[in-house]
Amino acid sequence: MTPAPRPLSSLGLSARGGLDPVITGITADSRAVKPGFLFAALPGVAVHGATYAMAALERGAAAVLTDAKGAALFQGPTVVAEDPREALARAAALWFGAQPATMVAVTGTNGKTSTATFCRQIWNLLGHAAINIGTTGVEGSWAAPSSHTTPDPVTLHAMLAAAAEAGVTHAAMEASSHGLDQRRLDGVRLKAGGWTNFTQDHLDYHKTFEAYFAAKAALFTRVLPPEAVAVLNLEDPALADFHPPQSLLTVGKHEADLHILGQRYDATGQDLRVSFRGVTHQLRLNLIGGFQAENVLMAAGLVIAAGEKPGDVFAVLPQLTGVRGRMQLAATRRNGATVFVDYAHTPDAIETALQALRPHVMGRIVVVFGAGGDRDTTKRPLMGAAAAKWADVAIVTDDNPRSEEPALIRAAILQAAPEATEVGDRAEAILRGVDALGPGDALLIAGKGHETGQVIKGDIYPFDDVEQASIAVAALDGVI
Ligand SMILES: CC(=O)N[C@H]1[C@@H](OP(=O)(O)OP(=O)(O)OC[C@H]2O[C@@H](n3ccc(=O)[nH]c3=O)[C@H](O)[C@@H]2O)O[C@H](CO)[C@@H](O)[C@@H]1O[C@H](C)C(=O)N[C@@H](C)C(=O)N[C@H](CCC(=O)O)C(=O)O
Ligand SMILES: Nc1ncnc2c1ncn2[C@@H]1O[C@H](COP(=O)(O)OP(=O)(O)OP(=O)(O)O)[C@@H](O)[C@H]1O
């Protein structure tokens, strides 16, 4: 429902000269301005939005929200704010009004999508109408696509209001460091915030390690109210000395409020014994990798911090399923060998995925992978080296060759993986990988994850690794 027009002052803003125009909408993009809109002219990374203030006023903007620097660039009804991004976020929260009653946010270099998805699944399993908002869009009891991990505040608050009006009561959102730095989450009413881990990333934007840390820490020091709960993963030494102003719920392997007492891996998942504030719980996770157990503990900590009973939460964890295409169990052979699909398409990600799989596999690990065309060429031999080091058998195939000659891409990978087999056709490579599996072995098909196409010379051919895995198993073992 579109909010009804109302005075600027109802959004917590006052214009120069005591003006209080009626506002009919909000946007930070001059091209989206309609008569009566508040146009937020933000100091951007590329350009100052106030460059477009006159264009916005010509389109009928009722007022322009900007900073002192921007205000000097045009004439017209102006709201000057020290930090216009914060003012926009708070105004958007007031404009759209409704938000799900129980919301949590999670930040961290890795694990945000998985953790937010697990929070939503736990709430759904406990009977709540819940969503997660992040890299995979809005998912759950209300769905919408999203171009950003953390949407801009106008988009975000429109989503939250629409979801709340549709009956959604619980939401878990990903807080990217860009989103936090650009104040996209200011004005969101959170009950708990989580921090999974902190390693180097995004220095192109944040410039220094310290600035990147500060952007993530802002979830606690600026966005989360003092009465909320901070959930920290103590396993990451980078977080050990961080002391947020909220009360803490810690997770980890040792001495945390929620910690792992014992962990046993098998072909399709892991059994955990965990302790939550002195009470022991035994649980099954049908998820691969020690890091997924960390993400599940983080999600459990967040939903408990937001009001769920620990016993109820631990009871539903065996029903959690991973994010599509992320270490997804795609098929199982008659002999018990397993086939996983993961979107790992960088040297680091291949190494992480193969290492995560290792404790689950009694036999050999086979990997099928390739590298994309028209993209970073330096990673090709590094991917070959990672596969050669961490897998027992490597099959090099095509993965979106785009305009490049596929054989040359494969050759660059094979340079660093001389023992690997070369099979250009991806379906045949998967069939060969599945065929190589004996009892206790596992195949990792890396690269595409949830994607459903193979890009060759400007055309996209339908290709789904999960589907191909099933087809290969059915062809070799008979349909089961
Ligand atoms: C580098 C960056 O983060 N930029 C974001 C930022 O843009 P900006 O404000 O700096 O844009 P700008 O181009 O300098 O323009 C300044 C202002 O002029 C306005 N403008 C511009 C042109 C015009 O004709 N009229 C007009 O009004 C723009 O709307 C903007 O308000 O604010 C915009 C609104 O919130 C974002 O859409 C935009 O995201 C860009 C597109 C982007 O790609 N961001 C990525 C890096 C990002 O945010 N990624 C994280 C995840 C990172 C991860 O974990 O992998 C995410 O949360 O998605
Ligand atoms: N807790 C974790 N610790 C270390 N690595 C992790 C963790 N969780 C996930 N990963 C790795 O990061 C990859 C991406 O996971 P996920 O999508 O949950 O993270 P993210 O922070 O949302 O990243 P993105 O925004 O790029 O999707 C996984 O496939 C895995 O390789």
Q: Which regions of the chain are under pLDDT 70? A: 479-480
Place of tokens 């807080």: 175
What are the CA-CA distances from residue 412 to residues 10, 384, 387, 405 (Å)? 61, 8, 13, 11
For residue 243, the model assigns a pLDDT of 96
- On whether both 162 and 130 belong to a single domain, the answer is yes
Q: Residue 54 domain-assigned?
A: yes
Q: Which run of H or E residues covers position 432?
A: helix 426-435
Q: Residue 140 domain-assigned?
A: yes
- On whether both 113 and 40 belong to a single domain, the answer is no
The number of domains in the chain is 3
Helix (H, G, I), strand (E, B) or coil at 148: coil
Q: Residue 438 domain-assigned?
A: yes
Q: What is the CATH number of the domain that holds 178?
A: 3.40.1190.10
Answer with the one of 289, 319, 349 that is the final residue of a domain.
319
Give the atom of ligand 2 at the shortest distance from the alpha carbon of 174.
22
Residue 194 beta carbon below 6 angstroms from any ligand 2 atom: no
- On whether both 391 and 447 belong to a single domain, the answer is yes
Answer with the one of 33, 58, 89 that is the final residue of a domain.
89
Q: Which of 146, 226, 224, 242 is nearest to 185 (CA)?
A: 224
Residue set of the binding site: 30, 108-114, 149-150, 176, 182, 184, 375, 399-402, 447, 451
Our mutation pick for probing the ligand 1 site, out of 178, 180, 202, counting the most ligand atoms within 8 A of Cβ, is 178
Q: Residue 204 domain-assigned?
A: yes
Answer with the one of 266, 286, 319 that is the final residue of a domain.
319
Q: What is the CATH number of the domain that holds 468?
A: 3.90.190.20
All residues at 6 or more sequence positions from 233 whose CB lies less than 8 Å from its CB, including other chains: 108, 194, 195, 196, 197, 239, 250, 251, 252, 294, 297, 298
Q: What is the CATH number of the domain that holds 49?
A: 3.40.1390.10
Q: Residue 1 domain-assigned?
A: no
For residue 480, the model assigns a pLDDT of 56
Nearest ligand to the CA atom of 150: 1
Dihedral angle at the C-alpha atoms of 332, 336, 342, 344, nearest 10 degrees?
A: -150
Greatest Cα-to-Cα distance within the chain, rounded to the nearest angstrom:
79
CB 11 within 8 Å of CB 38: yes
Q: Which of 217, 169, 182 is nearest to 49 (CA)?
A: 182
- On whether both 28 and 147 belong to a single domain, the answer is no
ipTM above 0.90, yes or no: yes
- On whether both 46 and 145 belong to a single domain, the answer is no
- Which residues constitute the domain of residue 60? 6-89
Q: Residue 471 domain-assigned?
A: yes
- On whether both 106 and 255 belong to a single domain, the answer is yes
Q: Which of 351, 370, 350, 472 is nearest to 413 (CA)?
A: 370
Instruction: Supply the mean pLDDT for the chain.
Output: 96
Distance from the alpha carbon of residue 185 to the mean position of ligand 1, in angstroms: 14
- On whether both 268 and 224 belong to a single domain, the answer is yes
- On whether both 197 and 343 belong to a single domain, the answer is no
Helix (H, G, I), strand (E, B) or coil at 19: coil
- On whether both 387 and 277 belong to a single domain, the answer is no
Nearest ligand to the CA atom of 39: 1
Per-residue 3-state assignment (H helix, E strand, C coil) for 24-49 = CEEECCHHHCCCCEEEECCECCCCEH
What are the CA-CA distances from residue 66 to residues 27, 53, 155, 203, 269 (Å)? 12, 9, 19, 27, 52
Q: Which of 272, 276, 274, 297 is nearest to 285 (CA)?
A: 272
Q: Residue 59 domain-assigned?
A: yes
The string of pLDDT tens digits covering residues 257-286 is: 999 999 999 999 999 999 999 999 999 999
Nearest ligand to the CA atom of 179: 1
Residue 112 beta carbon below 6 angstroms from any ligand 2 atom: yes
DSSP symbols for 227-263: TSEEEEETTSHHHHT---SSEEEEEESSSSSEEEEEE
- On whether both 180 and 286 belong to a single domain, the answer is yes
Region of 111 (left: φ > 0; alpha: ψ -120 to 50; beta: rest) is left
- On whether both 58 and 116 belong to a single domain, the answer is no
Measured from the Cβ of residue 435, the count of other Cβ atoms closer than 10 Å reads 14
CA distance 123 to 163: 15
Single-letter amino acid, residue 160: L
- On whether both 339 and 310 belong to a single domain, the answer is no
Distance from the alpha carbon of residue 451 to the mean position of ligand 1, in angstroms: 25
Helix (H, G, I), strand (E, B) or coil at 191: coil
| H-type alpha helices, 219-346 | 237-240, 290-305, 310-316
CA distance 227 to 401: 52
